[in-house]
Amino acid sequence: MGFQQVTATPAAIALIRQLRAVHGPLMFHQSGGCCDGSAPMCYPRGEFRIGSRDVLLGTIEDCEVYIGGDQYERWKHTTLTIDAVPGRGAGFSLEAPEGMRFLTRSDMCSAEELAALAKDPPRRGPGDDEEPGLGSPRRSSM
Amino acid sequence: MRYDRPNTEGSKLQYKARYGNYINGEFVAPVRGMYFENVSPVTGRPFCEIPRSTGEDIERALDAAHAAKVAWGRTPPAERANILNKIADVMEANLELLALSESWDNGKPIRETLAADLPLAVDHFRYFAGCIRAEEGSASELDADTLSLLIKEPLGVVGQIIPWNFPLLMAAWKLAPALAAGNCVVLKPAEQTPVTILLWAELVGHLLPPGVLNIVNGFGVEAGKPLASSPRVAKIAFTGETSTGRLIMQYASENIIPVTLELGGKSPNVFFADVWDRDDDFRQKALEGFVMFLLNQGEVCTCPSRALIDARMYDDFLAAAVARTRGVAPGDPYDTDTKLGAQASNDQLEKILSYIDIGKKEGARLLCGGERVVLPGDLEGGYYVAPTVFEGQNAMRIFQEEIFGPVVSVTKFNDFDEAIRLASDTLYGLGAGVWSRDIHTAFRAARAIPAGRVWTNCYHLYPAHASFGGYKNSGIGRENHRMMLDHYQQTKNVLISHSEKPMGFF
């Protein structure tokens, strides 16, 4: 992918490192909908099954950040910054017991960034290139 | 009138310093002995400790539920109904106490908890008490010798994960039908609002046999996930957001169990030009309908957070609607005059402010509000936001994402088709509002918008006997209405032959 649509603040990076020390490799999925929605969810890597329509926004601190394909269509003109603030609940996101909550802040893409995205659109699921996914030749068919 | 703060001499609400989980008919400490501080969003200060439970506590609750399930499932419907009615009576007798706690734990104004949250929760228990008495299976004579009986049976033990926006009411929505249908429940409240349901269990727990109702508190990842992924639950019901909803479906697929998911929305509120035809009660009702985005500080899955206004009256309507919105200011949730309370948590406050920020960056015009409000006295640390109206385009993110705050995004439409196109242009389909004096317009619009609930010339009514649930990404299944019993039951078919003659297959 040409241009990373997601970055992280120092507070988020510190929290990721803290969580990784406990839980191992991590991943993010940007949620939508009510309650704790419209916020990024942090899971152990592989816990959340990335589907073929999920979009990889980028990688922060060695964590892939995905968003649902339909939701991406409505967010694609913006860049995201994952931050961390004091907070409480978060679905099944890993940071809640730490008294912190990941938060998505947003900015508009510049004309150059939009052009870069048009030229080189972000990758979709299923995830790491090394892992066999839907349609992968490494997937046994019989 | 202003109620005294909890744990002061004048208050009937005296919290304990620490609470337990409610398992097998008694309050017990969490297995690992860990607790977390429960913060009131009214003041931003902690006021009690809540169990930080883990998978061990969930297992303990599941043990109790499984031990109780056979007897409870065989308890006559009339007896189960009587118990639900008694629960409702005790809630009603303690309505003020529970309302005070709900406001303190969630931040919502006492005006709402006294008039809506609690009375509706009481009514849900009574409604499903009635439904289960009246429920029946069916019998079909398939031919002269063959009778087919359809008999409803409880699922057994079900898991329920409750949101924080209407903590007790959403628990009642899930508990009343599940218990009525004869299921045992393990329920995990939201970690933001864990305490009122524990007070409730103190009051009503003894009415149910031990193990029928179990409440395990804790964080989603530590307590909710073990519940949602357990092979020992026959169904999981969840209200929340889409990523967790997908995870819950993922876990459910591993156990092949059904789910009910309510995942929110971005509900359009459509005002056709004829509402402005006359300066009468209906015009005022429609303007009130606009301001409904402030109910519960906007923390409602069906918050009418997109207002679509007919271009023919756009300027007049919007000016009056903004003026009416400006008349509502956040205040002390314990003051009975307060209409807008505190957002439920600090992270919720931060999220709302981040959406106000992207709204401005995207070029939406801020018509009022748009900022945090710091109130005096002990409210200084609470989470208050000014009522906020944006004007913009439906493709903007503030029109497409659930902000879950007192924020409405307004745009205009030129004709009926454009109104429906804009109303439908969202990932979600939970609620919608349509407003028109013309019954043809109103009904056509109500049928055309793909949403599970279309309020027509009203908004934010939640009667027990009206189904509630989402189209599209808003979820799977319904809540409320007697149909909800089906979501908590198996259908047993007993196929009976009266013939004594061989079947003749072999």
B228 burial (CB, 10 Å; 0-12 / 13-18 / 19+) is buried
3-state secondary structure B19-43: CCEEECCEEECCCCCCEEEEEECCC
Q: What is the pLDDT of residues B249-290, one digit of tens each?
A: 999 999 999 999 999 999 999 999 999 999 999 999 999 999
Shortest distance between the Cα of B46 and any Cα of chain A, in A, equals 12
Shortest distance between the Cα of A44 and any Cα of chain B, in A, equals 11
Q: What is the pLDDT of residues B218-235, one digit of tens each?
A: 999 999 999 999 999 999
**Nearest alpha carbon to residue A91 among B424, B332, B263, B360:** B263
What confidence category does residue A134 fall into, taking pLDDT thresholds of 50, 70 and 90?
very low
Chain A residue with minimum CA distance to B166 = A35
User: Which site among B106, B242, B358, B404 would you substitute to test the A interface, given the most A Cβ atoms closer than 10 Å to its Cβ?
Assistant: B242
Question: Do A34 and B355 make contact, defined as CB atoms within 8 angstroms?
Answer: no
Q: How many residues does chain B have?
A: 506
Question: Do A33 and B346 make contact, defined as CB atoms within 8 angstroms?
Answer: no
Structure confidence at residue A102 (pLDDT): 96
Question: Do B225 and A88 make contact, defined as CB atoms within 8 angstroms?
Answer: no
Structure confidence at residue A126 (pLDDT): 75
User: Which site among A23, A26, A34 would you substitute to test the B interface, given the most B Cβ atoms closer than 10 Å to its Cβ?
Assistant: A34
Question: Do B402 and A108 make contact, defined as CB atoms within 8 angstroms?
Answer: no
Shortest distance between the Cα of A93 and any Cα of chain B, in A, equals 6
Alpha carbon dihedral B461, B468, B393, B323, in 10-degree steps, equals 10
Q: Span B417-437, mean pLDDT? A: 98
Looking from the CA of A71 toward its CB, the CA atoms found within 13 Å total: 27
Question: Do A97 and B221 make contact, defined as CB atoms within 8 angstroms?
Answer: yes
What confidence category does residue A89 fall into, taking pLDDT thresholds of 50, 70 and 90?
confident
What confidence category does residue B133 fall into, taking pLDDT thresholds of 50, 70 and 90?
very high
**Nearest alpha carbon to residue A49 among A131, A122, A110:** A131
Domains of chain A: 6-119 (2.60.300)
Share of chain B above pLDDT 90, in %: 100
Q: Distance between CA B76 and CA A107 in Å, rounded? A: 59
**Nearest alpha carbon to residue A69 among B147, B427, B362:** B427
Question: Do B242 and A107 make contact, defined as CB atoms within 8 angstroms?
Answer: no
Question: Any idea what the Cα angle at residue B246 is, between residues B242 and B252, rounded to 5°?
Answer: 140
**Nearest alpha carbon to residue B266 among B220, B305, B295:** B305
Q: What is the pLDDT of residues A17-48, one digit of tens each?
A: 999 999 999 999 999 988 888 889 999 999 99
Chain A residues within 8 A of B402 when measuring between CB atoms: 32-34, 37-38
Chain B residues within 8 A of A34 when measuring between CB atoms: 163, 165, 239-241, 262-265, 301, 402, 404
User: Which site among B301, B347, B397, B468 would you substitute to test the A interface, given the most A Cβ atoms closer than 10 Å to its Cβ?
Assistant: B347
Q: Span B169-193, mean pLDDT? A: 98
Q: Span B376-384, mean pLDDT? A: 97
Q: Span B210-224, mean pLDDT? A: 97
**Nearest alpha carbon to residue B165 among B12, B335, B338, B297:** B297
Among A95-104, A120-129, B126-135, B377-386, the least confident range: A120-129
Mean pLDDT of chain B: 97
Chain A residues within 8 A of B264 when measuring between CB atoms: 32-35, 37
Question: Any idea what the Cα angle at residue B314 is, between residues B313 and B317, rounded to 5°?
Answer: 80
Chain A residue with minimum CA distance to B383 = A87
Catalytic residues of B: 262, 301
Structure confidence at residue A34 (pLDDT): 81
Q: Does B395 touch chain A (CB under 8 A)?
A: yes
Chain B residues within 8 A of A101 when measuring between CB atoms: 346-347, 350
Question: Do A75 and B473 make contact, defined as CB atoms within 8 angstroms?
Answer: no
Structure confidence at residue A1 (pLDDT): 53
Q: Span B61-77, mean pLDDT? A: 98
Closest by Cβ to A41, choosing from B165, B192, B244: B244
Question: Do B242 and A96 make contact, defined as CB atoms within 8 angstroms?
Answer: no
Question: Do A35 and B239 make contact, defined as CB atoms within 8 angstroms?
Answer: yes
Q: Span B11-15, mean pLDDT? A: 98
Q: Distance between CA B181 and CA B63 in Å, rounded? A: 20
**What is the model's pTM?**
0.95
Per the rule left: phi > 0, alpha: psi between -120 and 50, beta: everything else, A117 is alpha
Chain A residue with minimum CA distance to B164 = A35
What confidence category does residue A3 fall into, taking pLDDT thresholds of 50, 70 and 90?
confident
Question: Any idea what the Cα angle at residue A35 is, between residues A30 and A37, rounded to 5°?
Answer: 10
Question: Do A39 and B163 make contact, defined as CB atoms within 8 angstroms?
Answer: no
Chain A residues within 8 A of B401 when measuring between CB atoms: 32, 38, 74
Chain A residues within 8 A of B427 when measuring between CB atoms: 32, 70-71, 74
| Interface ipTM | 0.94
Task: Tell me which residues of chain B, numbers 203 to 222, contact chain A at a CB-CB cutoff of 8 Å.
Answer: 219-222
Chain A residues within 8 A of B238 when measuring between CB atoms: none
Q: Distance between CA B52 and CA B107 in Å, rounded? A: 22
Closest by Cβ to B403, choosing from A38, A47, A85: A38
